[in-house]
Structure 1
């Protein structure tokens, strides 16, 4: 009979094994961003290949979102039952194989079907390796969660840049098959470390079901096997912070360039720099996130980040000059950088993989909600005014963090 909740087993892992485990997980985060970005840059070519209209392509792309949302909660239960390490490896294999499927399709219906599989793999691996990372953070007793998400951002930037460079040299089929080969090779080498190393916990891992971990330093506090109503409420609260953050990320990805070009008269090349400033600043913010968390603690980091992002987005949305808008976008990226990693980590510390699944699902919902919501509001009022909702939700995330601290009794 399989062991239930393997992540609760007391596994005291040697320090050098923890280092290898951290490297392996960092590689998986980077690989995930690399593969997803590589797929994104080939979407125009896949659209042409399938003969899809813009509307039909939009419906097909919903397959990614639907697959991710459907599988996230299911993956949380799998991690509870079999452990986050083997689930991460299995999902990495599925992600690597499924990214090669879109260029093999020649109809919108077939494209939507394969994207459902791809989205399922993408959502599942995000839950699995975030759960594994949270176990490692507890064992290390250092707030290193942002470093993993920085690896994802760096992988995404590398995948997008490399994909753009080779787009003219390789067909979509050749390009995405290369991604499959890279993904399987990475999984083979990095996955061996995960499969050989049990999820690390500490021997004194005995937190009660309604325990709320100290907000400054990650501790070895095992998540409850079942969420109590109070714990579930806190997990949903952290999920709302993830939603507010991802709303801003989705809005910036889809609307920042248009705002600079349409409202500030920037040239297309200059307008494209807007999202690059945001993404680069977010990566820098995550690379420095561990130090920030050690100095400020989790609640202050969330409040500071949300407030900074709100002010930056107000500048980016309402500034009359291009340079000021670019500065605002960069400040927004710095502010939002660590909100999602901290929210997911706190949800995972409270409720294990299922807490990660809840927070990730909320976050993914925010990323889906952001772009269309901005579009509708831009038609009713204006795009700059619509973009201020990013500032409003960032400020909301900061307020939620303060309320959560009071709820936690700190």
Structure 2
């Protein structure tokens, strides 16, 4: 296998870890920033919507730019923007500056999310086998590293701007070191291909993939936001035990993504989606109906394991559908998927006024079954490439490195 492709894969791992680390560092500093700015939980909740809005905007801007200029250029720029922006919440002194800081951080995160996924699609195309899930697993590992490092630095009682500034410096250093290893664009005509591409309507298959991403990432959001609360309120678990609900889910997600590529290579991405979403549904049903804490924790574990490989298959399919519009297509799928993460609290929360929290989990269960029934959308289809003139084989090989 070409050395440049292997090195490009390692660089992609680095950017996924970096993205998880940067966002994780912000998450662990949320209480400290909230206290220093002097806002309530309710105000913080509204401000976090700006983080989501910025991320969605960044995704939509970066997708076409990745197609126009190539991920080799867009990924480092996005990573630098995301890294620099993480220090801004630590510098905020009031609600207005914190809102602006979160909008900027969200924008940088959205840019990096789409750019690195577009490059991951290019790497996967070079390997000619599934490798996407492993990239998403390393994003989770970056978040774990941030949690461990953040817990330690917070114990020193330093100003958030100091530790977030160090995180920003680390991010910029990784960005600079990993940038030269990124792959060059696959087609020398990418710039010309961009012009007719933006006039073309998005294929219905891409919107269908985006809809599935919205549903499945809403399911992930339910685990992120409600797993610990459900264990505490429904089963009267102590706070430390309740925290294990999300911990078991997140661990299963990470391990599952490390293994999902091998399963996809052997049985196909459609099988991963069909079986994974079905297993996730059974896990969440167990959570909703379980009267015992150990069984509930097992249900969250099964839920995470089932979901783990589903969303990466959707990203990969979107990127492979049209080689000249990989960035834009990934942006659409990632953008709607991110809205799903944000929609989880907005949908589940109001439902709890009418039914118990456990009963509301049957909505994401239904989404999982819909995704499983729709798995045929991932069956292999020829990807679209539109070079303007035929290229000699040697030239094609050179540009694919």
Q: TM-score, normalised by structure 1?
A: 0.87
Alignment partner, residue 225 of structure 2: 254
Q: How does 1:7-406 map to 2 (within 5 A)?
A: 15-169=2-156, 170-194=158-182, 197-200=183-186, 225=197, 232-351=203-322, 352-402=326-376, 404=377
**Conserved 8 A contact 1:61-1:115:** yes
**CA–CA separation in structure 2 for the residues paired with 1:74 and 1:173:** 28
**CA–CA separation in structure 1 for the residues paired with 2:366 and 2:149:** 35
Tell me by how many angstroms 1:175 deviates: 1.4
**Conserved 8 A contact 2:59-2:331:** yes
Tell me by how many angstroms 1:171 deviates: 2.7
**Conserved 8 A contact 1:85-1:129:** no
**CA–CA separation in structure 1 for the residues paired with 2:214 and 2:16:** 20
**Conserved 8 A contact 1:64-1:119:** yes
Tell me by how many angstroms 1:406 deviates: 7.9
Tell me by how many angstroms 1:52 deviates: 1.0
**CA–CA separation in structure 2 for the residues paired with 1:337 and 1:283:** 7
**Conserved 8 A contact 1:49-1:106:** yes
**CA–CA separation in structure 1 for the residues paired with 2:63 and 2:18:** 21
Structure-2 change in CA distance of 1:407 and 1:155 (3 Å): closer
**Conserved 8 A contact 2:55-2:109:** yes
Tell me by how many angstroms 1:165 deviates: 2.7
Structure-2 change in CA distance of 1:200 and 1:289 (3 Å): farther
SS at match of 1:385: helix
How many residues align structurally?
375
What's the C-alpha RMSD, in Å, of the aligned pairs?
2.2
Gaps of 5+ in 2: 383-401
Structure-2 change in CA distance of 1:408 and 1:184 (3 Å): closer
1:180-214 deviation line (CA, Å, top 9, x unaligned): 111011111111212xx41347x9x9xxx9xxxxx
SS at match of 2:203: helix
**CA–CA separation in structure 1 for the residues paired with 2:372 and 2:335:** 20
SS at match of 2:311: helix
**Conserved 8 A contact 1:136-1:200:** no
SS at match of 1:379: coil
Tell me by how many angstroms 1:90 deviates: 0.2
Tell me by how many angstroms 1:261 deviates: 0.6
**CA–CA separation in structure 2 for the residues paired with 1:405 and 1:27:** 28
**Conserved 8 A contact 1:60-1:109:** no
**CA–CA separation in structure 1 for the residues paired with 2:44 and 2:348:** 19
**CA–CA separation in structure 1 for the residues paired with 2:71 and 2:136:** 17
Structure-2 change in CA distance of 1:180 and 1:395 (3 Å): same
Gaps of 5+ in 1: 1-13, 210-221
